[in-house]
A and B are shown apart, each in its own frame.
Chain A
Amino acid sequence: MSDTLTYDLNVNGEIETITAPAEETLLTVLRERLHLTGAKRGCDQGVCGTCTVLIDGEPVRGCLTIAALCEGVEITTIEGLATPEALDIVQQSFVDTGGIQCGFCSSGMILTVSSILKSNPEAGEAEIREGISGNICRCTGYEKIIDAAVLAAQQINGAAR
């Protein structure tokens, strides 16, 4: 039997106390213990990017991250972006451009794009392509996802001006 640990996680600004086996992944803790099911399990092997969450603003793979090692960092999931009234800029631009089809990649794509634009608000198509190159989308052919990211960048920059 594996050891069980108790630890605190800061998820979307809330402190959650977790008691779970030591090796449990962040993806499992989020989905099965906290019922934050926006992060998806597409491969469980670190390849597809559907499980992406942000740790201190950087995209990480929830399926490869041990939850117990995430104490003291800020975890942001897709559920942490929108307010009850409105989507954030990146989410809304994915809806507006058609960057979402089946939606299974969308949480990971949106969080990845958010992080790209946060660290480089001037990011253009090339930087966006590079930034999302670890996330698979089987539906869209990526074009409208890039359109969404470009639109979000324009809006963020427009708002900043």
Chain B
Amino acid sequence: MTEVLDTIGQRVTRLEGKDKASGRAQYTDDMTLPGMLYGAITGSPHAHARILSYDISAALEVPGVKAIITGDDYDWFRSGGHVKDETLLAKGKVRYIGEPVAAVAARTQKAAEEAARLIQVEYEELEAVLSIDDAMNPDLPIIHEEFSTYQMKVTDLEVSGNECWATSAEEGDIDAAWAECDAVVEETFETQAQHHLYLEPASALVDVDANGKVTIWGPNQGVHFIQTRVADYLGLPLTKVRAISPTVGGGFGGRAGPHVQPITAALALKTGKPVKITLSRAMDFETCRSRHPSRVRMKIGAKKDGTFVAQEAELLFDGGSFMDETPAVASFGLMMARGPYRIPNFRGSARAFYTNKLRAGSFRGFGNPQTTIARECLIDRLAQALDLSPMAVRQKNAMVAGDKWLGGQEVPACGFAQCLEEVKKAADLDKAQLPPPAPGKKRGFGFSGFAHISSFLASGASVQLREDGTITMNTGGIEIGQGASTILAQICAEALKLPIEDINITEPDTDTTPYNYKSVGSRTTYTTGRAVKAAAEDVADQIIEHAAAMLDCDPAQLTLISGGQVGVKADVTDSPLVNRTITFKEASLRAHYGVGGPIIGTHTFVFDGPPFDREGSKMKAVVFGNMGAYIYGVQGAAVDVDEVTGQVEVVKAWAAADVGRAINPTNIEGQIQGGFAQGMGYALFEEMVWDNGRLVNPTLMEYKVPGVKEVPKVQTIIVEDPEPGGPFGAKGVGEPAMVGVAPAIANAIDDAIGDRPNSLPMTPEKVLDVLDPS
């Protein structure tokens, strides 16, 4: 029995919902400052070229132009997520089409754009490296000649040429294990670049004070990370950079690093005035980041009864022109390759490469979708080879609490088996009830297991009791639409037994907000939430101390009562204290004006799960020391495949996720449904296409995302197997909500027509190809 709580588990409506519904919420481009200038960026026309010279004379003639910056204006300050390989503007060399080479600040948007067009740059073109195969070709030029001088966090990296990351892990005795298998399947899968397509294009507004301190607003997933990166780019101390989070129009990992903030900040510093840059949709597509394209070779072997014996995984990631989060994506993809299954013998490697395309970076799933498609499609193949049901094979091998993750960490809780069971039940019911497919179409059902993490690195929180007994809570959890603010406020409210209305949350601001790594990796609920809960409990303890002094009793006799009061515990019956209460307001007034000082609770921690067993699991160049609070789930899809056109329609979907404890079911369902839609676009049609280094579909007209007519009903099933250490047992769900979608759809296509493409997106052409290989 889970404990009944006041606020946790309730469908509390989104705290900023009214602001958003009424059009009042301020996104970055909605803001203007007095005297503000507008910025524009000149992009590289070449995928790979040396910069010979700049001519800005014509651009300077445009009326209203206030400043122009080029790579010549800056020293070699480099910035980066794991490896410092990017400069503010291209310096010496350009590495992808669209890469910013110069920027303008002017009094009007029009003038800025006109001047940006008039900036002349002389280039010497170099041969471009446009794919993983190109990157492995030693005859093609090196994209980052100074790679060996770049600062990075790991010491055991062994790469050469255009390879930028190489990581590996091994458990058991893989070479011997294959002989024990009754069936072995092996295939190679290719996946594409996907764009986040957050609906708010990249934008930044930067103000600057007389001391040269910049204040930055922009869509982001972590103010501290943006602050640090901008400081790196500009060679500034953190005291001179302040980042604030306005309303953010979607993230999905796309705002996990900076976009136009550094250039906007440079222009503000140069002009001494506020500057705003908002990218057009096309420039956002061309210059922000994408999901890593990949090629994954995988091999899995099992015994007759379906018991998994061995798995081998070889992952290749196309990282694009700069590393950004590539080291973490490669490491994480590798650590997720085995998924939530018991496979005693494992060998895996992940390599990543520089290419002359847009940087690939953080994107919902983070290397996990690329490996999950391979593993889950192969599980179905293995089941076919052994004449078993794919669902039964998953159930047979599902990990349970006490099993170890790849890397040797024991998982303390695991609701995966229950997720499998629930999705199976729901799908079986629907199988009988769905109307039959139209003539000429074939129906198929497919499933995928998945897992993800919800904690790593550090978070802090502060919770302050105000004079009237209400709370002001301050965290760096960024509300990107996933519901972070509401969930964190619910955690705080629950810990203090207050109504949600009594929690005021502040906007994340590096000047005042306790450190938070980022709102990424589904880590906010577990990680920031845990900091909030402990900070709120610190406040509760202090309130009880005051109440005890006021009632002249032992604090151990007291407890919080719902609604902002302290009373005696139920087991204290024979004392004059019974029925006496102290309100939070009374305690707070005593603290503010009498004894002790204002009540502020704080908590910070860095994820404290067990470290990876690097030696035992033969891990090399894995960027995580530890990670955890694993999330488990299952996705399923029913599809109708048109045998003439190859068109795939998803007619129904099911998705179960073990979230530990559901803090806000509405938010969880929203994540699962939205994640399904994004995963479906990835599965069937979304793809950024480059031709000779030029992105050919950088608009919403050409890059199609799922509309309301394509997305099926997604039946959501919330499984709660409390996570020890999670706030009230809770953990995240946002990222994995898309991870199993493509394999579920692929397996459903296979079930319908007897085969499926092994490359994403599974377009009608590719489906027709497998239908009729001639």
Q: In chain B, what residue has the closest Cβ to A97?
A: B666
Given the contacts A48-B700, A140-B674, A102 and B481 also touching, CB distance less than 8 Å: yes
State whether A139 touches B250 (Cβ < 8 A): yes
State whether A98 touches B199 (Cβ < 8 A): no
Task: State the CA gap A49–B19 with chains docked (Å).
Answer: 19
**What per-residue 1/0 map shows which CB atoms of A97-122 lie under 8 Å from chain B?**
11011111111001000000000000
Determine, out of B80-88, B529-537, B587-595, B708-716, the stretch whose residues face the partner at the interface: B708-716
Q: In chain A, what residue has the closest Cβ to B200?
A: A104
Cβ of A132: which chain B residues have Cβ within 8 Å of it?
A: 708
State whether B714 touches A45 (Cβ < 8 A): no
Whether B29 is near chain A, meaning CB under 8 Å from some CB there, is yes
State whether B713 touches A143 (Cβ < 8 A): yes
Whether B21 is near chain A, meaning CB under 8 Å from some CB there, is yes
Partner of B711, one of A47, A110, A141: A141
Report the minimal beta-carbon distance from B191 to chain A, rounded to whole angstroms.
19
Whether A133 is near chain B, meaning CB under 8 Å from some CB there, is yes
State whether A87 touches B22 (Cβ < 8 A): yes
Report the minimal beta-carbon distance from A53 to chain B, rounded to whole angstroms.
11
Whether B25 is near chain A, meaning CB under 8 Å from some CB there, is yes
Whether A154 is near chain B, meaning CB under 8 Å from some CB there, is no
Cβ of B564: which chain A residues have Cβ within 8 Å of it?
A: none
Q: In chain B, what residue has the closest Cβ to A95?
A: B17
Provide the main secondary structure of the chain B interface. loop
State whether A98 touches B709 (Cβ < 8 A): no
Whether B547 is near chain A, meaning CB under 8 Å from some CB there, is no
Q: In chain B, what residue has the closest Cβ to A36?
A: B23
- Give the A-B pair count, Cβ closer than 8 A: 163
State whether B670 touches A94 (Cβ < 8 A): no
Task: State the CA gap A139–B711 with chains docked (Å).
Answer: 12
Cβ of A106: which chain B residues have Cβ within 8 Å of it?
A: 20-21
Q: In chain A, what residue has the closest Cβ to B30?
A: A37
Cβ of B16: which chain A residues have Cβ within 8 Å of it?
A: 103
Cβ of B247: which chain A residues have Cβ within 8 Å of it?
A: 103
State whether A47 touches B699 (Cβ < 8 A): yes
Task: State the CA gap A26–B424 with chains docked (Å).
Answer: 51
**What per-residue 1/0 map shows which CB atoms of B471-488 lie under 8 Å from chain A?**
000000000111100000
State whether B23 touches A102 (Cβ < 8 A): no
Cβ of B201: which chain A residues have Cβ within 8 Å of it?
A: 41-42
Whether B168 is near chain A, meaning CB under 8 Å from some CB there, is no
Task: State the CA gap A94–B14 with chains docked (Å).
Answer: 10
Task: State the CA gap A135–B708 with chains docked (Å).
Answer: 8
Partner of A102, one of B24, B30, B198, B700: B198
Task: State the CA gap A125–B251 with chains docked (Å).
Answer: 29
State whether B23 touches A77 (Cβ < 8 A): yes
State whether B280 touches A101 (Cβ < 8 A): no
Whether A29 is near chain B, meaning CB under 8 Å from some CB there, is no
Interface size on A, residues (CB 8 A): 52
Whether B35 is near chain A, meaning CB under 8 Å from some CB there, is no
Whether A7 is near chain B, meaning CB under 8 Å from some CB there, is no
Q: Which of B238-255 contact A (CB under 8 A)?
A: 247-252
Cβ of B27: which chain A residues have Cβ within 8 Å of it?
A: 37, 40, 104
State whether A140 touches B22 (Cβ < 8 A): no
Whether B281 is near chain A, meaning CB under 8 Å from some CB there, is yes
Whether B225 is near chain A, meaning CB under 8 Å from some CB there, is no
Task: State the CA gap A38–B247 with chains docked (Å).
Answer: 12
Task: State the CA gap A137–B18 with chains docked (Å).
Answer: 18
State whether A144 touches B481 (Cβ < 8 A): no
State whether A141 touches B714 (Cβ < 8 A): yes
Whether A69 is near chain B, meaning CB under 8 Å from some CB there, is no
State whether B22 touches A136 (Cβ < 8 A): no
Report the minimal beta-carbon distance from B658 to chain A, rounded to whole angstroms.
20
Cβ of A92: which chain B residues have Cβ within 8 Å of it?
A: 21
Cβ of B692: which chain A residues have Cβ within 8 Å of it?
A: none
Partner of B29, one of A41, A45, A47, A129: A41
Partner of A47, one of B198, B249, B678, B700: B700
Partner of A94, one of B21, B199, B677: B21
Whether B701 is near chain A, meaning CB under 8 Å from some CB there, is yes
Cβ of B480: which chain A residues have Cβ within 8 Å of it?
A: 102
State whether B199 touches A104 (Cβ < 8 A): yes
State whether B701 touches A47 (Cβ < 8 A): yes
State whether A141 touches B676 (Cβ < 8 A): yes
Residues of chain B touching chain A, judged by Cβ–Cβ distance below 8 Å, are: 11, 13-14, 16-27, 29-30, 32, 196-201, 247-252, 278, 280-281, 480-483, 666-667, 669-670, 673-678, 699-701, 705, 707-709, 711, 713-714
Top 10 nearest A-B pairs by Cβ distance? A38-B23, A102-B481, A103-B20, A141-B673, A104-B249, A78-B23, A101-B481, A37-B30, A95-B17, A141-B677
